[in-house]
Amino acid sequence: MSAIKCRDAGKVFRRFSERNQTLKQVVARRRRAVFTEHWAVRDLTLEIAEGETFGIIGGNGAGKSTTLKLLAGILVPDEGSVQVTGRVSALLELGAGFHPELSGRENVFLNGAILGMSRKTLLTRFDDIVGFAGLEESIDEPVKTYSSGMFARLGFAVAVNVDPDILLLDEVLAVGDEVFQRRCGEKVAELRSSGKTVVIVSHGLQELRKMCRTIAWIDHGTVKAVGPSIDVVNEYLESTRDQQRISSDGLVHTGTGIVTTFVRTHPEVVVQDGSAEFEFTIDCAEAIVEPRLGFTIRSSDGTPVVGHTMPLPTLAVGTHRSTYRMGRIPLTPGHYEIATWFGDRNGVELDSCLTASGFEVKPPSGGSHDFGLLTLGGTWETT
Amino acid sequence: MKGGINGTRHLQQRPSETFVRYAARRAIAERELLWNLLLRDLRSRYRRSTIGWLWSMINPAVMTAIYTFVFTVFFHVKPAPGIPSGMTAYAFYLLGGLLPWNALVNGVTGASAALVGGGGLMAKVRFAREHLVFATVLAMSTTLLAELSVLALMELIGGYVVLQLLPIVLLLVLLLTMFIAGVSLVVAALNLRYRDVQHLMSIGFLVWFYLTPVIYPVGLIPEKFSIGGATLPLRTILGMNPMSRFVLAFRNCFFDVTLPGIGTMVGLVAISFTTFSVGYRFFIRRAPWFVEEL
């Protein structure tokens, strides 16, 4: 029996160029609002069997989150139908509805009720929830004093105790430290083995491949491929590899488009053996767990001179800055190109740019005595 | 077959089911949510203040002091003594109308803010959206009950016993709650969509306040009013204001110390059920698209 059935489901969003935003305009203009329609999801046909762990992958803006919201009943389809059989718990955000002034204890009951739990169930599971979140000591403190990790842990602990028939997860596993993530993984596995249907939207392709038997790849609001997880993930990776796009800086980037990295050199003209720094700007449209950032410096004829990669802490949605400082640039005078690379912790490339930036190395005041690409920076002593 | 999200997806309105019954059924299905939202509202409101709940008493106390001073010292307004209580204190006369009026204003503005403030929640969780409005309105009614208790206590000190009217006061508060909920549902839904509703709201309440006999006795309204050769039955027209009827009924209890007439009660039942039904219908027709309007 299928838990979820979507038939030709579509959701259109209106982008208003001229909208009646006030009652006054409605009365005074007597004109209809001007808008363009944008189908976030269209002709989406999916069938998810009861007890299945189902993954949804796709690039940024492909319609994954809209799909999940349609399944959760938060959005209503504009065409087609979405049929969900069973009790649904949607974890689109942890701790939705937490009130900062209230204590953790009060918020457990509030959040539990929002997710549809009865007070009786909550009372019997309260200790489990607090234990799972590891917050025995601060449960009576106001939530505003919690760290973001504590906040997320408490939210997740309540949500997995809702005891749903169908659990919808949107990238929520990407929060918290490693220990907590492992526990989340275990909890999901536990739900799966007890016959619950789990639908996960994620960019963690490797985890998804491990957890799900079936994966749907959503692209441009419709199902591009659905089938055994290995095949779909491989097909998806194949397509992203040569997926090129022009980013906001006008450069050609390849990758999924979830992340865009830019780099600038300070100064733009470096003196041989002088100091310099590379300032990386990382735009994340979604949270990325423990990514890696790397760069390669090439000489003007394309020869790689040096490469470097660096593990970063988990990045939240937003713009981040990373600076690489060098006390001495051991390069001979000439022009150099910098290529950037950004990947997830499993080495899947999320963004790369071959011509991200460049810089000039000019000879020191006394002229350069070096040839080749590198300067060794040694000193002479003649006796 | 078990229903969908939180068991409420099957809660479609049955044919020939009234909006009031439908709303009640949905509220019962999500009673835990409604209760917790109400608790959140009540708990968080005065959480960070030293005197806590007393704040809700200060506004009516100050307003009473001001109006009593202005109306008894400047204008020499004297309400006709309550029948049969013989009460003449302007403060009691005023509070009988001011407390329900404040519940209306605070309920509608609070509910509008609650719906906007609940936007993040609506985008993430499926639940009956009207419960954000109901929780706020119910919180205001709870406050009203507390304030009325204090009023009753003050009257007791002044030598007037109103406790025997408790059942009818509870019924009045229930009807007023339904009326406020109905107005709130419309205003909150519009407020989400149009940005000027909050400004219109404050102007609207200002006009409505003076059309309602809260600070002045009905006896001050001229029976007939001539404008441009036409004679208007002014008192009858103003009497059609539903809030006037609520104010007069509350004043029956807290100033006259008597039961409101049966005609008044029937009228109030009709007003509150109609307002609630119209508001509820307006709201739930639009509720599925709230997330997109945010």
Residues B4-38: tens digit of each pLDDT: 333 444 578 888 889 999 999 999 988 888 998 89
Say what the pLDDT of residue A243 is. 67
Task: Report residue A143 CA to chain centroid gap.
Answer: 25
Distance in angstroms (rounded) separating the CA atoms of residues A155 and A90: 12
In what order do the strands lie in the sheet containing A2-18?
A34-49, A2-18, A79-84
- Residue by residue, pLDDT tens for chain A (383 residues) are 788 999 999 998 887 766 777 777 777 766 667 778 888 899 999 999 998 889 998 877 788 888 998 998 888 899 999 988 888 888 777 777 788 878 889 889 888 888 878 888 889 999 988 988 888 888 998 888 988 778 888 888 887 787 788 888 887 555 556 677 777 778 778 888 888 899 988 877 777 877 888 999 998 888 999 999 888 888 887 777 666 677 777 777 777 778 888 888 888 888 888 889 999 999 888 888 889 999 999 888 778 888 898 899 888 888 999 999 998 888 888 889 899 999 887 777 888 888 888 888 888 887 778 888 888 888 889 98
Q: CB under 8 Å to A154, separation ≥6 — which residues?
A: A95, A98, A104, A107, A108, A129, A133, A135, A143, A146
Instruction: Identify the segments of chain B with pLDDT beneath 70.
Output: 1-10, 47-52
Of A13, A97, A99, Cβ closest to residue B125: A97
- Residue A74 touches chain B, beta carbons under 8 Å: yes
Provide the sign of the torsion angle of the four alpha carbons A241, A244, A245, A251, taken in this order.
Answer: positive
- Residue A117 touches chain B, beta carbons under 8 Å: yes
Provide the sign of the torsion angle of the four alpha carbons B134, B135, B137, B142, taken in this order.
Answer: positive
Question: Which residue, chain included where needed, has tokens 């969780």?
Answer: B125
Question: Which residue, chain included where needed, has tokens 């203009």?
Answer: A29
Outline where DSSP puts E strands in B203-246: 225-227, 230-232
Q: How far is B161 from chain A (nearest CA, A)?
A: 39
Task: Tell me whether the omega of the peptide bond preceding residue A267 falls within 30 degrees of 0, making it cis.
Answer: yes
CA atoms within 13 A on the CB side of B171: 14
How many residues does this entry show for chain B?
294
> Vertex A326, ends A320 and A327: CA angle to 5°?
140
Instruction: Count chain A–chain B contacts defined by CB atoms under 8 A.
Output: 112
H helices then E strands: how many in chain B?
A: 12, 2
Task: Tell me whether the omega of the peptide bond preceding residue B84 falls within 30 degrees of 0, making it cis.
Answer: yes
Measured between beta carbons, the chain B residues lying within 8 angstroms of A26 are 194
Distance in angstroms (rounded) separating the CA atoms of residues A293 and A286: 16
Alpha helices in chain A (DSSP H): 23-29, 64-72, 104-114, 119-133, 148-160, 178-193, 205-211, 229-241
**pLDDT, tens digit, for every residue of A290-338?**
899 999 998 887 788 888 988 998 888 889 999 999 988 888 888 898 9
H or E stretch at B154: helix B130-157
A25, A76, A114, A141, best to mutate vs chain B, most B CBs in 10 Å: A114
Partners of residue A319 on adjacent β-strands: A283
